[in-house]
Amino acid sequence: MGKGPLSGVRVVELAGIGPGPFAAMMLADLGAEVIRVDRAAAVARGGGFAGTDFTNRGKRSIAVDLKSEQGKEVVLRLVERSDVLLEGFRPGVTERLGIGPDECLARNPGLVYGRMTGWGQEGTLSQSAGHDVGYIAITGALHAIGRAGGPPQVPMNLLGDFAGGSMYLIVGILAALLETRVSGRGQVVDAAIVDGTAHLSTFIHAFLAGGMWQDERGVNMLDTGAPWYDVYETADGGHMAVGAIEPQFYAEFVRLLGLQDEDLPAQHDRDGWPDLRERFAAAFKARTRDEWAEVFLPGDACVAPVLSLKEAAEHPYNTERGVFVERGGHLQPAPAPRFSRTPAEIDGPPVTPGVNSRDVLADLGFDEVDALLDSGAVAQA
């Protein structure tokens, strides 16, 4: 168990993919004891990707046959001694397995039962398969991302799975834990990616309602429509990101770009934006990305080099701040946010399915550990 602000909190994670494991990882980074319930069959398949699946760092794993009565009892015994259960199955799956909210809250009335889905627990699409790109499509967020005249651009799966999904599940779990300490009663947290992604766009909806945003791609202030909020190619094929919105930052950007003495259109003159974009693009093409980075950073022009994932891990500022850390020979993002008294930490490497099965059973007080392992209800790696 870690030393972070969630030290003393035990979380049961029913193994899944994507946003659920990431949410559990973050809880582990923050000090919670996370016991991942993998499927017994995962042990036979071996570790595979497990050694570098950073979303499973700092956890313990027990491999259970959830379809067996003995396996179900193992999970319910875990629930009795835990604060949170986290699952990411389709609606109704845990109920059919006998480890749904009713069964778990009957064993532990103070349990926070966190559920992660794309569409939510109810509704006409709740039983449909899906992935990040479809969830953000139906919220309107995907439509808004991209350049004018071009198709929507897919922002990897960061916006839906992890921002609209994992982070909202975490917020819900933490809020429910606080309420439970007052009421003594647990509850179900229904975190849906469509809900979270829509909620994330509140700021843009406010602009839309106020007439300051057009429901089109690439024509607004924050979507590459404005020439001073965009990316520009440099002489070596690299790119610089420009976000010079405020007038004082825009003035500094123009000065460092070497255009302060030119007769430029006004910053907010939309008719002049094509001319500004052309001038900015020509200026950036005169030097390499790293040369421009030396010009702009540190400084107040709100301009930064666009780095690859590997470059970001090696950038001097990121190494100075420790944004990435090395564990087990692999660079990976460090825990965030930071705490003054109870620092978050990576408490162990990515866990292999079933590697802690025997120890977890012993911790739960099972006398028949060998019998459970021999029966196949629980598998040991």
The helix or strand, by DSSP H or E, that contains position 18, with its residue range, turns out to be: none
Sign of CA dihedral 253, 256, 258, 261: positive
Q: Which of 65, 161, 195, 223 is catalytic?
A: 161
| Measured distance CA(152)–CA(347) in Å, rounded | 39
Q: Which two tokens stand for residue 342?
A: 């109870």
Tell me which residue of 328, 330, 336, 322 sits closest to 26, measured CA to CA. Answer: 336
DSSP helix/strand/coil, 165: helix
| Measured distance CA(179)–CA(185) in Å, rounded | 8
Examine residue 337 and say whether the peptide bond preceding it is cis (omega within 30 degrees of 0).
yes
Contacts of 291 (CB under 8 A, 6+ apart): 234, 235
The helix or strand, by DSSP H or E, that contains position 197, with its residue range, turns out to be: helix 193-200
Cβ contact 12:158 at 8 Å? no
Q: Does the annotation count 347 as an active-site position?
A: no
Q: Does the annotation count 143 as an active-site position?
A: no
Q: Which of 102, 131, 268, 269 is catalytic?
A: 131
| Measured distance CA(34)–CA(49) in Å, rounded | 19
The catalytic residue positions are: 131, 161
